[in-house]
Amino acid sequence: MTDPDLLAEAELRELVPAVIGILVSRGADFATAEDAVQDALIEALRSWPSDPPRDRRGWLVTVAWRKFLDTVRSEGSRMKREERVMAASLVEPGSSAEPGTDNVPNADDALDLYILCAHPDLSPASAVALTLRAVGGLTTKQIAEAYMVPEATMAQRISRAKSRIAGSRLNRPGDLSSVLTTLYLVFNEGHSGDVDLVAEAIRLTRTLTSMIDSAEMDGLLALMLLHHARRDARFGPDGRLVALADQDRTRWDRKLIAEGIEILQAALARDELGQYQAQAAIAALHADAQNVEDTDCDRDADDGGGHGLGGPPRRARLITPVGR
C-alpha cells in the first residue's frame, strides 16, 4: 500500500465513529449501521483516489445510509423507517450539504460509541474486537490478523458482541473506566500483521482525550507513551524479552518520553489521582533515569497515602521532563 493510500485509510478511520453515530441517530440499529459504514469505507477507498468528494463525512453518511436502506429492503423489515427516510431528499455523494450531518456533534457521537463498545455486558475480548471494528474502523480481516486468529473466528466474536448490545442505545450505558480498560487491553496486545495495535490504542486514546476532560484518561495516554518509548529496546536480536535493567537506553524514544511526562505532569497537577496516573508516574521515574542505578526508587516506593507518589506538592515536582 502506498503512502497516499495509508493517509486516505487513516483519514477514513477517523470519520468512522461520527458516521456510525449519525446513522444510529437517524434510527438505524447499531449492528446494521456499523456494517453499512464498513461497506461505505470499502467503496470510498475504491472511488476517492480518482474522484475525491468535497465533503468526505457527508459522502460517507450518504453512502452508508443507502447501504443501510438496501439491507432493510432486502430483509423486508423496518418498512416504516424506510418510508420515513425515503420521504426525505437524499443528496448525492460528494455534496457539502448532506442531510442530518450538520447538527450532530462529532465528539458526542464518538464518545457514545467508545462507551457502547465497552459495554459491561461484553467480555473483555469482545469489547476489544468491537472497539477496533466500530470505533477504530478496522476490517474484520485486519483485526483477525492482529490477533493471529482465523477471520471466521473474529467475525463470529464481533457478531456475538453486536448481538449482545443490540437492544442498547447510544446513550452512554457504560462508564469511562470500562473504556479505559478496553483501550489498555488493545495496547497490551502488541502488534502483528498489517495493524499495529499499540499504535492503534494510542491513536484511539489520543482521540478520546480530545473529547473528554479526564485526568485519568490523560494518565492512560501518558502511560502508553512511556511504555511505547521503550519498545525498540524491549527485545533482543534473538526475539527474547530484555529486562528493564538490561535495556539499551540509547534506543529509548526520548521524544515520546518527554511527551508522556508532560501529559502526566498536567494530569497529576489536578490532584485527581487514579490507577493509570500512578502507573504512568512509576513508568516515568524509570524512563527519566539515565541508568537503572539512577532510578528514584525512594519516590517510587513512598506510600504517600497509599499511592506511592506522596501528596500534591510532591506530585507537582515528581518528574523533570527528559531533555529539558
pLDDT, tens only, 9-36: 777 778 888 888 888 878 788 888 888 8
- Tell me: the pLDDT tens digits for 274-300? 999 999 999 998 887 776 665 655 554
Instruction: Name every residue whose Cβ is closer than 8 Å to that of residue 258 and which is 6 or more positions away in sequence.
Output: 321, 322, 323, 324
Instruction: Give me the chain's average pLDDT, please.
Output: 76
Q: Give the whole-angstrom CA distance, residue 299 versus residue 283.
A: 12
Of the residues 52, 87, 102, the one at which a domain ends? 102
- Tell me: the pLDDT tens digits for 204-263? 899 889 888 899 999 999 999 999 998 888 888 887 888 888 888 888 899 999 999 999
Structural domain includes residue 131: no
Q: Is the pLDDT of residue 265 over 90?
A: yes
Structural domain includes residue 185: no
Q: What is the per-residue pLDDT for 259? A: 94
Please give the residue range of the domain that contains residue 262: 213-324
Q: Give the whole-angstrom CA distance, residue 85 versus residue 36.
A: 16
- Tell me: the pLDDT tens digits for 146-177? 888 899 999 999 988 888 887 666 555 457 88
Look at 193 and 140; give whichever has higher pLDDT.
Answer: 140
Instruction: Name every residue whose Cβ is closer than 8 Å to that of residue 166 and which is 6 or more positions away in sequence.
Output: 29, 30, 31
Domain count, the chain: 2
Q: What is the per-residue pLDDT for 292? A: 65
Structural domain includes residue 262: yes
Of the residues 102, 132, 147, the one at which a domain ends? 102
Q: What is the per-residue pLDDT for 101? A: 43
- Tell me: the pLDDT tens digits for 110-145? 777 888 888 888 888 888 898 888 888 888 888 888
- Run of H or E including 196: strand 195-196
Structural domain includes residue 125: no
Structural domain includes residue 167: no
Q: Which residues pair with 196 in a beta bridge?
A: 191
The answer to whether the pTM exceeds 0.75 is no
Q: What is the per-residue pLDDT for 194? A: 67
Structural domain includes residue 96: yes
Q: What is the per-residue pLDDT for 255? A: 92
User: Which of 54-58, 264-268, 292-296 is least confident?
Assistant: 292-296
Q: Give the whole-angstrom CA distance, residue 158 versus residue 179.
A: 17
Structural domain includes residue 197: no
Of the residues 50, 78, 102, the one at which a domain ends? 102
Q: What is the per-residue pLDDT for 197? A: 85
- Tell me: the pLDDT tens digits for 87-100? 444 444 444 334 44
Structural domain includes residue 177: no
